[in-house]
Amino acid sequence: MSEIPQDLKYTEEHEWVKLEGDVATIGITDYAQGELGDVVFVELPGVGEAVKRDDAIGSIEAVKTVADIYAPISGEIAEINEELDTAPETVNDEPYGNGWLFKVKPSDKTELDGLMDAEAYEQHISD
């Protein structure tokens, strides 16, 4: 059973979002990292880059596959997790902690209302 923190929002593409003030931290879920397997490389967008909800903005490369990273909300990239350059496996070890991917300054916080809560996400991955 995958870990699904109650205080986060989730996408159908298995990203999680945590809004703190005017910045949203984004990563992939425990379920997603488990499905991918051992992460060997993470390609992230650049700081200052404008992103649009649902656009592919990076990728996660695992031993057997490559998965796109989608923007769960629109806005500007405020920060990226540079630790992942040298330690991409952190995504596997701590998907909700030090394995976060990037932070966005949302241009429209109401987009968060369209994301799933923990209960809906749990239903989504059990279907």
Nearest-angstrom CA–CA distance, 100 and 64: 21
Q: So what's the pLDDT on residue 127? A: 82
Please, are residues 96 and 8 in contact by the beta-carbon 8 Å criterion?
yes
Domains of the chain: 9-109 (2.40.50.100)
Please, are residues 53 and 111 in contact by the beta-carbon 8 Å criterion?
yes
Statement: the pTM of the whole predicted model exceeds 0.85: yes
Please identify every stretch of the chain with a pLDDT value under 50, giving residue numbers as ranges. Answer: none
Provide the 10 A C-beta neighbour count for residue 22: 11
Q: So what's the pLDDT on residue 66? A: 96
